[in-house]
Amino acid sequence: MISELFATPLFWAAVTIAAFVAGQILYNATGNSPFLPPILSGVALVVGTLELTNTPYVTYMQGGELIHLMLGPVIVMLAVPLYQFLHTMRSQWQRIVMAVIAGSGVTVACAALLTWWWIGDEILARTLATKSITTPVAVAIAEQVGGIAALASASVIVTGILGAAMAPALLKLVKKDDAQTVGLTLGVCAHAIGTSRALELGKQQAAYSAMAMTLTATLHALVLPWVLPWIV
């Protein structure tokens, strides 16, 4: 009976939601610590459950796919704060475009070149070059350029958590912590996790982060498969 339950897609969808809710409770209990976002504790809980029940990933994704389908509508909802500041962004489109191009170029170059120089693994370098894009795009690009999709997904999560935790503090340290700069930085460097952090900081940060995240993902999807072979 229990083994049949573990093979039920809805069971794993419920486990995923419960793990995130538990992570959110823990996040609130720790004073919204940026180093312990719900996605991190939620992933740990789901992985632990899969290990304890000896459930293969394929079985889990039968239920996880139900939640994965909602990622699109959730991203579209970010258009609400973006629309509220669209008039301001129109007058700053050059600044935004330059920030996205410069930020994307630096993150890709640092990840690919440092990995290639330090470890000397071309496949790993191609994989980590996608670390600053939202997960679905990173996985697709990693597969396209000869990287490892699963590792790309993991690197995206780690990058998002570190970026969301460190970027606001570092910008405050150098006295560049206005709402627009914080939002752009979180969107370019920390993708969806950074944008969720921006939502906590304010509507303007969320709007600029959503714009930066979208433009960064689009730029990487168009340019990275073409330019990465020349870098690595």
Per-residue model confidence as pLDDT tens digits over 197-232 = 888 888 899 899 989 988 888 888 888 888 777 765
CB 41 within 8 A of CB 23: yes
In this structure, the answer to whether residues 102 and 196 fall within a common structural domain is: yes
In this structure, the answer to whether residues 28 and 133 fall within a common structural domain is: no
Residues 6+ apart with CB under 8 A from 143: 149
Give, in degrees to the nearest 5, the angle at Cα 159 between 85 and 141. Answer: 85
Q: Is the pLDDT of residue 118 over 60?
A: yes
In this structure, the answer to whether residues 155 and 222 fall within a common structural domain is: yes
**Domain endpoint, select from 12, 45, 69:** 69
Per-residue model confidence as pLDDT tens digits over 69-102 = 776 676 677 677 777 788 888 888 898 999 899 9
* Sign of the Cα pseudo-torsion (210, 215, 216, 218, in order): positive
Tell me the pLDDT of the chain averaged across its residues: 84
In this structure, the answer to whether residues 61 and 89 fall within a common structural domain is: no
Could you write out the three-class secondary structure of 82-140? HHHCHHHHHHCHHHHHHHHHHHHHHHHHHHHHHHHHHCCCHHHHHHHCCCCCCHHHHHH
In this structure, the answer to whether residues 60 and 88 fall within a common structural domain is: no
In this structure, the answer to whether residues 53 and 81 fall within a common structural domain is: no
In this structure, the answer to whether residues 36 and 86 fall within a common structural domain is: no
In this structure, the answer to whether residues 65 and 88 fall within a common structural domain is: no
In this structure, the answer to whether residues 112 and 143 fall within a common structural domain is: yes
**Domain endpoint, select from 69, 90, 110:** 69
In this structure, the answer to whether residues 145 and 216 fall within a common structural domain is: yes
In this structure, the answer to whether residues 19 and 99 fall within a common structural domain is: no
The most confident of the ranges 4-8, 64-68, 149-153, 155-159 is 155-159
| 107-131: average pLDDT | 83
Q: Total structural domains in the chain?
A: 2
- N-terminal to C-terminal alpha carbon distance within the chain: 51
> Domain range holding 176?
77-231
pTM over 0.75: yes
Longest CA–CA separation in the chain, Å? 61
In this structure, the answer to whether residues 131 and 214 fall within a common structural domain is: yes
